[in-house]
A and B are shown apart, each in its own frame.
Chain A
Amino acid sequence: MAKQMQMTGTAAMLLLASLQAAHGQTATSLPSVQYLRDGTIAYAMTSLRWATYLKPDARVDCPDGVNDGPREQFAALFPDQGQPRALADTQLRREIQGWFPTTRPDYFPFREPGGTQALGLNLDGEVGPEDFTSLDGEPGIDNQMYRALGCINSHRDAQGINDSLNSGEIVSNEYNRLLVELNGVDDLGNDDEVEVMVYRGLDALHTDAGGKDILPGGTQRVDVRWGKKFIQRLDGRIVGGVLTTEPSDLFIPWAVFNLPADEYLRDARLRLTLTPTRAEGLIAGFTDIESWHLQMMKSQSTHCQSYGQQSSMSLYKAMRRLADAYPDPQTGANTAISSALRTTFTQVFILPESKAALAGSGPLPRAMPYGGAPFPRTPEEEAGDVPGRVVATGEP
């Protein structure tokens, strides 16, 4: 459907060769497989990480140090001074603070990254005082999530335990088998109008004999039964081999530790560098904080949060303070936070027969509309001002 910038076959081959060269392939080793067929190419997600560090091997600079986790905060709040401590007043109060977090000021200082650079996209089209500059100099980058997560050991670099666990499950857990299919592609280098379909796949990824490297050319069936929620349509364009989609709400299946859980990004957009065999880049949008928090609490117990000094209650307060979008109509407080995820994909072929149930159903859907916070609470409950509530020790 490219209406402009049609490339000749030779130009396309040259671009293809340059894209492959960028990924370690040479023009002489061009794959014989035709990955783009009848205007369609598909990819399966192979990693997904919050863009909370600039480079995988470089820790975020935290001028004030890193944040304490559940274990350290418990010890500070409830020191063992030889007096009996009640489980209800200590352990359960901390669990309550995790499951019912409030926006009251934190008892502990919250440490944020220094610097002016962050990964992400300019989500609001503006350049503001809280915005970052990208590594290649683009101003106006909206990624407040970086401020929230950057100085938590779990997310400070690619060795952060929760960061790597979460991303590992993208591959190992078939619940998370996200597929992106580009339709109407005349040219993988430039096409000003492509349809981008998002599905959940049903099959394991195709790997090398060692089981580690994920290879292109695998096949996937579309989950048209349990995965209806994840069937979503986006509009995109390709410029210089980079796919960019128009803002649209997006569900991403992201179960961790065998619990079904999803991310919900509002005004999400993909920016992916495409080759015939791989795609990589960013998914950016505004993360619904209540959904994010509940997902994290469910999939990572307080024990798992302790792996990387991630205090859920401190993090919630920080996220609400840093939130920069979707104000609550009642209170005016922002409910979503600008975010970016770095992601990689490998090419797959979607078996046509597995999409039979989709055929003839008319235009495929946008993301299901936002249904509200998964754990509805009153403004007073969010603020922690409910009379008679259990007052958590340590809150001012």
Chain B
Amino acid sequence: MPLPPGVRVQATELEGPVFADAKGRTLYRWPLSQLRNGPTGDPPGKSECNDVRTEVSAGLMSPYPGGLRLPDLEQRPTCTELWPPLKANERARPVGDWTILKRKDGTLQWAYEGFAVYTSALDRRPGDVLGGRSDKRGGDSPVMREPIKPPPDVPPGFAVTTKSSGRLLVTAKGFSVYTSDHDAPGRSNCDAACTETWIPILAPALASPHGEWSLVERSAGVRQWALRDRPLYTYRLDGDTNKLKGSDVPGWHNVYLQRAPAPPAVFTVQDTTIGQVLADAQGRTIYTYFCGDDAIDQLGCDHPTQTQVYRLAICGGGDPERCLRAFPYVPAPENAKSTSRAWSVIYVDPLTGRLADRRRKGALRVWAFRDRPVYTFAGDRRPGDAFADGHGEFRGQRNGFKAFWLRDDFFNGDQPGPG
């Protein structure tokens, strides 16, 4: 795969392989998308992200009008301060899917598949993907910056989708893929009765094995895809895309190209009315907070280095103390350590919600996912309650809280992933 000079492929915990710059910083793009009252984002061949501070809202999300002065303006970064363009030098030449566009200030910027490429000021180390996510969050979410990735190494007819449980192998139509313990390596033992429930994923006549992908002959001329010598199936009773239902059947398993990092060991998994949710040691549902403002540059507002005005409004009516009562942080004991990068321990000022020095009096030591604090909700009284899922603007997709879903059996598997 041809790449521009300095661009490389970087392994990450949540997103798998992504493109990164020479320093290992994840690369993102911001494709133009339609919101309620109009589009924003980069059209192909052009960057709309500039170094002028946006001061008013754009009114892209009804019913509120545009032109409202944005909060914490004095601390608000410009778009390029938060999303530095990946600059190209004068000698750079297009290569493969990578092209070069000219910015308004005359400088050159790399583009991937036509869209301007950026890094994120939130990413500090190679492997960080703190600026954006690749999973879709629903129609009323901000126009997201998405990490750009090399195409997954799967044959035609397959795809990989990023879920909270990991990078799930699905068919091109989105149906989950399964393997069976009843099969032998390179051989399917799923007979006619079995195939009434488990549908072998057949390979076209011209398919050929490569890498970890192979072909199992079911009968003369009928070949089935296998991954790592395990024949692959879909589950008739899944009924819809991105499901984990088949793994409830003993001996059958969803297929992941990469599992998500384990949460802190003290956390638990609880059954709810739609599936499973991550919970703290007492069984209280874990929530993440998500925010993107309604400005033309759609900057994030959910990281503890960013404005907290939106969060404080939604969690406590503007009252930080009320926020702490309704949505308490999840404390991390002094000896608690994360085994992953995705989960970490941070210190926050409980009243401002901003990052705090650990030595500062009153600073809280709390669990964070993707560098953002996680919360519980005072209204959840029983394990499995998730009353605050969707608490906030646009059902929590714009400025609000989402439960940390691990499994969703009812909503087409499309409950947005956490954070």
A interface, CB within 8 angstroms of B: 69-71, 74, 80, 84-88, 90-96, 99-100, 173-175, 204, 225-227, 229-230, 253, 255, 257-262, 294, 297-299, 301-303, 306, 371-376, 381, 386, 388-390
Contacts and interface: CB of A to CB of B under 8 A. Distances in A.
Interface in B51-95: 57, 61-65, 67-71
B409 A91 contact: no
Contact of A306 (B63, B317, B390, B395): B63
Contacts of B396: 298
Output the residue of B61, B64, B319, B398 with the most chain A CB within 10 A.
B64
A261 B385 CA distance: 11
A87 B317 contact: no
B387 A294 contact: yes
A92 B313 contact: yes
A175 B378 CA distance: 25
A88 B140 contact: no
A302 B411 CA distance: 22
Given A175-B273, A390-B317, A302 B387 contact: no
A272 to B, nearest CB: 24
Contacts of B71: 86-88, 92
A95 B382 CA distance: 28
Q: Which 6 A-B pairs have the closest CB atoms?
A: A390-B318, A87-B68, A298-B390, A100-B317, A374-B387, A175-B410
Output the residue of A96, A260, A262 with the most chain B CB within 10 A.
A260
Contacts of A261: 390
B64 A74 contact: yes
Contacts of A93: 313
Nearest to B72: A88
A294 B65 CA distance: 25
B69 A96 contact: no
B394 interface: yes
Nearest to B409: A226
A299 B395 contact: yes
Contacts of B239: 204
A101 B385 CA distance: 22
Contacts of B322: 381, 386, 389
B59 to A, nearest CB: 10
B274 A175 contact: yes
B386 A87 contact: no
Contact of A373 (B67, B317, B379, B390): B379
Nearest to B240: A174
Interface in B353-406: 378-379, 381-382, 385-396, 398-399
B319 A303 contact: no
6 contacts: A90-B68, A255-B411, A257-B395, A260-B386, A298-B389, A298-B391
A75 to B, nearest CB: 8
Contacts of B115: none
Given A84-B69, A299-B390, A303-B61, 5 more contacts: A74-B63, A88-B309, A260-B273, A294-B387, A375-B379
B411 A85 contact: no
Contacts of B390: 259, 261, 298-299
Given A259-B390, A259-B395, A85 B67 contact: yes
A230 B138 CA distance: 28
A302 B63 contact: yes
B382 A371 contact: yes
Contacts of A259: 389-390, 395
Contact of B317 (A69, A96, A204, A225): A96
